[in-house]
Chain A
């Protein structure tokens, strides 16, 4: 019996759909297995809003050029050099063409959204957001003849000597079945929603993590691949994590639970102590470190504290700030030691040097004589009501993944390329992102490697 499909894509987000479309356009028959129900399809893509692509000139929606070299330098900086230069440079080069290719797949761009700082030149935003982007990709895929199954939980992969043979599937109604395909594209994301797995590396602290995407990103495909001899890449504790509102739901709170107010105030832990320079750099360059910073604090909780003078300086928030007419009253509501919070704020206020405030540049408003310092945008917190947002680590996606080649082909543990297995998206993001994050990178990895994986898989299957 021959294979039923040329290309089997496991996953249903940006990377999976780009792979499916590219493979179908390459002449292959394609089946997409999405583990989530239709509404929750697309993994983290449903919460995204933009993609970082290199371009040599301004476009209709991008305000200026963003060269390959500049992209590479940004990547080098955020990862601290923990990246695969060959793969990364290849991705950056391919990203230039993605700007047009993705539009041909029905996705529409728009200029950067109101309230988003400093992304207008580098990042292209999806009109209507990530779910609109997904809807367009699904519509295109289905129009081209890609088959899609939802609630399709893959329970096992049949792999022999680095060669994919079949996937075992548990359908909600029809039960167990086996699907054979000539090639596999694994684009099923990281394991951020798998708290038990996170606990292997983070211990009990993982119980206090909030997951920004759906509960379906459990990493089961990643685990199967690693168990069956695919080479691992990345530090399992590394992930894209930001500080999000502690009142957010455990899963799928998405973009609207984030806070952009750190640079306008101070951040204290449950002992009312500051623990990091809130004004180290402009927010788009620093937002992605605060998830890990809060994760390292006792009970994985922290509080952004500011006063009434800055309330309108950042985007309105889903959850209102907690307010107190005095620092002590606020501390009481936050269940912090009032004396400790008063002391922290008094010392901070005393350390603030005079300066000219400007949140768009590295201004000269800084502290002197306290540790840690606040090196920019430091202003006294003294105008009631005093306000606070409680924050916890919000995990977007994990970086542990499958090692791949430039062709998005998986490498086996012995260093040999797999015969017919490809990977794209967050499941292989660790090849490019050893640590750190810059806005829009996840989608670049998804679209670029998704397209490559689909193209290569189709080529392999049709030969």
Chain B
């Protein structure tokens, strides 16, 4: 039937669910399913990425295990989702990074941080590395700004390129017909749906994680993480503009915009990932895709490390620890950037594309 066993299982489940439809009010997956009577690989990957793993359909399903129909949509779609990341990865040669993703992320992160520490140690005098630096340009006494900007721009641009190529393959696979574009209204709708995590709500009461009671706080922790990440990104962008447009060099005082954004973001990036990790520890094993545990935790850990080293750097930037901490923070951020296309980060990109597609389908259905 399909290319993989998990897609065969997803097809079986969608056939069961499409003849039931009790869950259609819970999220976007089931209404999207109802627009189809048969499911291609692309359709199933679309539905898999549309699923936010709130768990409500499992708790509500009269056919979930131990019933012989063995309907477990959240877990099946979680596995299919993870496999879709590898299937659409660009370049294809690197899709293997998803197979043992926890290990890959760990090694890349370790090597990246080691490289920065080593680089700082080799290129700087010991007194500079462990010296106390203050005032504008303090950081750049350890690494010239242009070198920093060039290295991170290159890493970032590569990540963007790889992500664009990956999501392009995904978009082609989930239809509409090749050549059609996403319309502005659908994109705006998807931004709203993603921004508020509209479908991570268990149909309104909240999500399910450890048992059949809707007590899950993942939405909150995800917001902290996601908006924390965006704030940190904004902090870096503002600082870059300060540097090139205003000629103002970091470090900036605590009340200045880049630091305020970075501090708020950093707090989010520390609390959010911890909350998400704790939720994962408590999650009902029936809902958990154990195979992707490494990938999930690897990404959570990278975000946490980025937030933690960033905050440590902020607090200790006027001490002798600044040099080593800067190396660690840059190492973490660099690793985060270059592993973006090959780790859990991609879930946000594919889910967003799926939400755009869903908004399109809803609009064309309403229009017809």
Contacts and interface: CB of A to CB of B under 8 A. Distances in A.
B63 interface: yes
Interface in A25-55: 39, 46-47, 49
A46 B203 contact: no
Nearest to B204: A108
A128 B23 contact: yes
Contacts of B69: 256
Interface of B: 15-16, 18-26, 31, 34, 37, 56-57, 59-63, 66-69, 203-205, 212-213
A131 B59 CA distance: 8
Interface in A115-164: 115, 125-132, 135, 139
Contacts of A128: 22-23, 25-26, 56-57, 60, 203
Contacts of B68: 249, 252
Given A128-B56, A130-B22, 6 more contacts: A126-B22, A132-B56, A135-B212, A252-B67, A254-B63, A255-B22
Interface stretch (A263-271, A315-323, A362-370): A315-323
5 contacts: A110-B24, A113-B21, A114-B21, A125-B25, A252-B62
Nearest to B31: A114
Interface residues of A, number: 30
Given A114-B31, A115-B34, A127-B204, A132 B59 contact: yes
Contacts of A131: 59-62
Contacts of A312: 37
Contacts of B63: 254, 256
A315 B19 contact: yes
B24 A114 contact: yes
A193 to B, nearest CB: 15
A39 B24 contact: no
Interface in A310-335: 312, 315-318
Interface of A: 39, 46-47, 49, 108, 110-111, 113-115, 125-132, 135, 139, 249, 252, 254-256, 312, 315-318
A46 B15 CA distance: 20
B213 A39 contact: no
A249 B68 CA distance: 9
A111 B24 CA distance: 10
Contacts of A49: 22
Contacts of A127: 25-26, 203-204
Contacts of A125: 25
A127 B22 CA distance: 7
Contacts of A316: 15, 18-19, 37
A47 B213 CA distance: 20
Nearest to B35: A114
Contacts of B31: 114
A115 B37 CA distance: 12
Nearest to A129: B22
A447 B43 CA distance: 40
Given A131-B61, A316-B37, A256 B204 contact: no
Contacts of A254: 20, 62-63
B25 A110 contact: yes
B62 A47 contact: yes
Nearest to B18: A316
Given A39-B66, A49-B22, A113-B21, A318 B16 contact: yes
Contacts of B205: 108
B362 to A, nearest CB: 13
A317 B20 CA distance: 9
Contacts of B24: 110, 113-114
B30 to A, nearest CB: 9
Nearest to B68: A249
A129 B19 contact: no
A52 B294 CA distance: 49
Nearest to A126: B22
Contacts of B67: 39, 252
